[in-house]
Amino acid sequence: MSHKNPSLFDKSIIAPAIGDSFRKLDPRLMVKNPVMFVTLIGAILTTVAIFTSPGERGFVLQLAIWLWFTVLFANFAEAVAEGRGKAQADSLRKARKDTMARRLKGGKEEKVAAPLLDKGDLVVCESGDIIPADGEVIEGIASVDEAAITGESAPVIRESGGDRSAVTGGTRVISDRIVVRITSEKGNTFLDRMIAMVEGAKRQKTPNEIALTILLSALTLIFLLVVMTLKPFGTYAGITFTTPVLVALLVCLIPTTIGGLLSAIGISGIDRLIRRNVMATSGRAVEAAGDIDVLLLDKTGTITIGNRMASDFVTAPGVTEQELADAAQLASLADETPEGRSIVVLAKEKFNIRGRELLHPHATFVPFTAQTRMSGVDIEGRSVRKGAADSVKQWVEDQGGIYPQDVAMAVEAASRAGRTPLVVADGKHVLGVVELKDVVKGGIKERFAHLRKMGIRTIMITGDNPMTAAAIAAEAGVDDFMAQATPEDKLQRIRAEQAAGHLVAMTGDGTNDAPALAQADVGVAMNTGTQAAREAGNMVDLDSNPTKLIEIVEIGKQLLMTRGSLTTFSIANDVAKYFAIIPAMLMVTFPAMAALNIMKLGSPQSAILSAIIFNALVIIALIPLALKGVPYKPMGAIAVLRRNMLVYGLGGLIGPFIGIKAIDIIVTTLNLA
């Protein structure tokens, strides 16, 4: 998927958007936006008035033209936002090919078109094959090219029986063979949902957007009633209010600016998220991200780099550091974990101890298990072990050995320092401790401080013991932590935070994370994770980067800030229009009303026309801001409100006075009114 953010003036977007602006004039579509629907009706009535007002035909014609522009500009804003998404959808469609699948039935393979696959079918995919639909690997391991979905060229590993078993339809197998169980319904694959979301075809209004639409509709209805009553009152007072003038007043009274940009703001918010390779199942999730105030993050791979590395050898009494390093390396020769390899490397770097031959005829390697929590080797009468302190202690004592108090103190000191201690023993003799350091990612502390300014509390989740967890939490700068956390603990913590009135976000990739992802207000599943996790979350990170949750929150907040800022601006700039139109309507009959003409506009007609022109132009001027979003800065709610009132409130109040006056000068100079 392309990561490029197309320019607003990209011809491939602008040209279709212009056509869509006219197609969106369909009343069945316009009625979904009450503010612009009323404006459309006003444009129609004004157009009709051209033929019924011969004395003012030129003036009415200009009013009609700019009213139509107002509606078209609003449609254009929405069409441009949708067009940016459609450009991405086109690239995604290239990945959705009607391929032939090799379905397993009765132990035999049969070829069937991918769209005909049912949920639960088993398909075979080998090197070069396109995976026909979403599914889960139940047999084998393979390299998969997901560039069509993620934009990343590097292949990823997909295998059965783990948290990297989910595969996406449209991706290509690079090597080896896998058997995939189809998990998606016909026409409802991940790619189908992604295309629909990108295009906005299935975009549902979010709760805040619905609430704002209701408010705008109520304001429109109130002002409509006000304007309708002016006609009989004017007749009573001896003032003739023509239909075009009343329409102009109504359009300037109602919040047309935010009404015209509201859809574009919502669509562009989802668009910005997708450009960061995050797929949201609904706009509701994007909006919820903006209100998040509690963030749950895994330690490993999110806060820390993820691979613990050997950093120090701490010896038992009477043991040299080289003896400890030699035994630790010996116990780690068959350990293919990053931790095991790092011990081999550290021993080599500090003491130039070279790795032994793994195929020693008398060597028996003991693999690590969850039960023993130890690994090691039996060689030439020696039994060397390394592992968790309590496990090695029990093993040594079972052989009649003594576990030194100095080693116990070293283990505790390492844990307090945020390191993971591995005790090494040779038979019944404890040799010392290997300290593994889990490196905190660079800049993560600053990012958490950034979140704190936003009013978001961060909670680190880890399976480490409390002392190690506390040390890592302090180094990373998180607000709280959960040590030795189980899936049930995560779920319970989320529920507790929600019960206290907080909105919670978290990440996860495994089947055991699914309940917590489903419970969280914003659950971000990793694309590399299981199908259960992807279905439970309301967002999927295609890059499988857990730290992206921070960016998601920022995008959500930017969406809410943009909507709030432009709403403030829209309501504020209506004030200037009142001072333009109302005096223009009344000062001929009531000369005292001329005092309200503080802008000293040329004539009643030029005042009305200038206000309508400004009303149309401000929509087109704000389209880039609606699409890009208001520049985001981490600050509390009070600070955001203060900035909104200063920049968009005061700016929205003063700007139109300047703009309308400038347009009036042009209109008067050109004798347009």
Active site residues: 298
* Nearest C-alpha neighbor of 423 from the set 448, 406, 440: 406
CB 345 within 8 A of CB 311: no
* Nearest C-alpha neighbor of 190 from the set 83, 285, 280, 284: 280
Give the amino acid at 548.
Answer: K
* Nearest C-alpha neighbor of 266 from the set 609, 617, 627: 627
Dihedral sign, Cα of residue 619, residue 625, residue 628, residue 629: negative
Q: How far apart, in whole angstroms, are the C-alpha atoms of residue 279 and residue 539? A: 5
* Nearest C-alpha neighbor of 22 from the set 72, 87, 56, 57: 72
Task: Tokens 């969406």: give the residue.
Answer: 559
Task: List, in order, residues 6 or more apart from 434 with CB less than 8 Å away.
Answer: 310, 312, 313, 314, 324, 328, 343, 386, 421, 422, 423, 424
Structure tokens at 376: 């090691």
Task: Tokens 């190690």: give the residue.
Answer: 468
Dihedral sign, Cα of residue 262, residue 265, residue 269, residue 270: positive
In a 13 Å sphere around the CA of 450, the CA atoms on its Cβ side amount to 11
Structure tokens at 198: 């990108």
The secondary structure of 10-66 as a DSSP string is -HHHHHHHHHHHHHTT-HHHHTTSHHHHHHHHHHHHHHHHTTT-GGGHHHHHHHHHH
The secondary structure of 425-439 as a DSSP string is EETTEEEEEEEEE-P
Q: How far apart, in whole angstroms, are the C-alpha atoms of residue 72 and residue 449? A: 44
Q: How far apart, in whole angstroms, are the C-alpha atoms of residue 99 and residue 210? A: 41
Taken as a whole, the chain contains a residue count of 673
Q: What is the DSSP letter of 508?
A: E
Task: Tokens 């000068």: give the residue.
Answer: 665
Give the amino acid at 340.
Answer: G
Give the amino acid at 652.
Answer: G
Outline where 443-547 has alpha helix (H): 444-453, 466-476, 487-499, 514-519, 531-536
Long-range contacts of 26-30 (CB under 8 A, 24+ apart): 30/71
Compute the chain's Rg from CA coordinates.
33
Q: 3-class DSSP state for residue 320?
A: coil
